Amino acid sequence: MIDDISFYAASKIVKNDHDRDQEFIDLVKSILQTRPDEEIFIKPLVLFDRE
């Protein structure tokens, strides 16, 4: 008997990638920096600075 969950794409296993995509990270940072006066954009930037 096959479990119903095996038919849903969201049920598949996702493996973490240990390699960082620095180009993508830089893109996200540049987008967030476009609105430095808004708290919702500032909070993620603080996380980038912790690295």
Measured at the CA of 30, the angle between CA 25 and CA 32, to 5 degrees, comes to 95
> What pLDDT digit, counting tens, does each position of 4-49 carry?
555 666 656 666 777 888 899 899 999 999 988 888 888 888 888 7
Distance CA 7, CA 2 (A): 9
Give pLDDT, residue 10.
63
Give pLDDT, residue 18.
76
What's the pTM value of the predicted model, to 2 decimals? 0.56
* 8 A C-beta contact, residue 50 and residue 29: no
Give pLDDT, residue 21.
86
Give pLDDT, residue 12.
62
